[in-house]
Amino acid sequence: MREDFGFTQDQIDIQLMTRDFIRKELTFERIKECDEKNEVPMDIVKKCAEMGLTSITLPESIGGGGMGQVTNSLILEEIGYQDVGFATTIGACSLAYEPISLFGTQEQKELYGKYIVEGGLAAFALTEADAGSDVSNARTTAVKEGDEWVINGTKTYITNGANASIYTVFAVTNPGAGTRGMSCFIVERDRPGISVGKEEDKMGIRLSNTCEVIFDNVRVPADHLVGKEGQGFKIAMSTFDITRPAGVGACCCGAMRSCIDKCLEYAATRITFGQPILQNQAIQFMIADMEIRYEASRALAYKVASAIDAGVIDSALASASKTMSSDSLVKISEDAIQIFGGNGYSKEYPIEIIYRNAKISQIFEGTNQVQRMVIIKSLLKASGMM
């Protein structure tokens, strides 16, 4: 892996620490076991929290790492190398905290951050059964009653939903106002009325809990409103502009690198017609194309992460990174199975898990079709055509 993005020594040290830890703890045998059980290895989650990997982007003033998106990307890339599902579990904490980081008060940052710093997981609760890419169709409501908000509704496909200690919840406060009628709230898990519904039996990322979270007359104080009433949609989209390059882009890059390494190793030892298949130009070109996609995806992911750390937020560039990385991972993992042949299709080898994990990256945090809508809208605005 080339390290030519101007990383600081501290960033490199964190990267190598994460690499050594995750490859030792999250072995293929453990991944396979958890994948079969649809189970999150909570013992490893606990160790990640103790190392500060779940709170790396939180301010130092509240016990976090005080690091930016480049460092976060390095961490998630290394975890993604082992398993995209587990990287999703860890990365979801940064996703859930980002709305509070962007729009919350200091008191809210301290309240929310304490749960993560002390080892808890967090969840970003936006999606609903009829409100995936079309979040304006959300049905979860929050009604003001005195000094409290009362939340009712069901969120679906929530990462860490069953294991979270705290949620970032998006609910409609002004029905009929479309995207301007949604607001964002901090909701602690132990509040009365919160329950966990159906856990998804997913094709991939099975080392990440995904489930329904049900809010039945859940009351939260008025000061748990993040930002202003009606800012929920803006808060969610602003969050994705920051989290897509690390949470999806860099994470996918880790899985791509894993595919390439495994293909090189396998092709060098798999003998057909009296020679390693790596000697076949067809195989060489497939791996070379993998490398091209990986390097391009990684360069874009770290370009966006560096820009974010410098205070430059570009929605179209973040969408491009998310789309490039996820599309590339799906293609690379598909080609990796082809190189492994029948063995790639077998659960005895890690490639099939990477392949199953890959597909969701084109869907969550906004489908890649939606990302392309963001990109073309940006191009049209820049050209004065809209």
Catalytic residues: 365
State the Cα–Cα distance between residues 187 and 184, nearest whole angstrom: 10
Task: Please choose, from the candidates 362, 353, 358, the residue with its C-alpha nearest in 3D space to the C-alpha of residue 332.
Answer: 358
Neighbours of 129 (CB within 10 A): 12
- Report the relative pairing of strands 225-226 and 182-188 from DSSP bridges: antiparallel
> Any idea what DSSP says for residue 131?
B
102-to-11, 180, 185, 223, 244 alpha-carbon distances in Å: 23, 18, 13, 16, 15
State the Cα–Cα distance between residues 331 and 315, nearest whole angstrom: 24
Residue 31 in contact with residue 348, Cβ under 8 Å? no
State the Cα–Cα distance between residues 69 and 307, nearest whole angstrom: 9
Structure-token pair, residue 176: 């009929």
Which helix (DSSP H) or strand (DSSP E) does residue 21 occupy?
Answer: helix 9-25
- The number of angstroms, rounded, from the C-alpha of 83 to the middle of its chain's C-alpha atoms is 12
Structure-token pair, residue 31: 């991944």
Strand partners, 145: 148
State the Cα–Cα distance between residues 278 and 275, nearest whole angstrom: 8
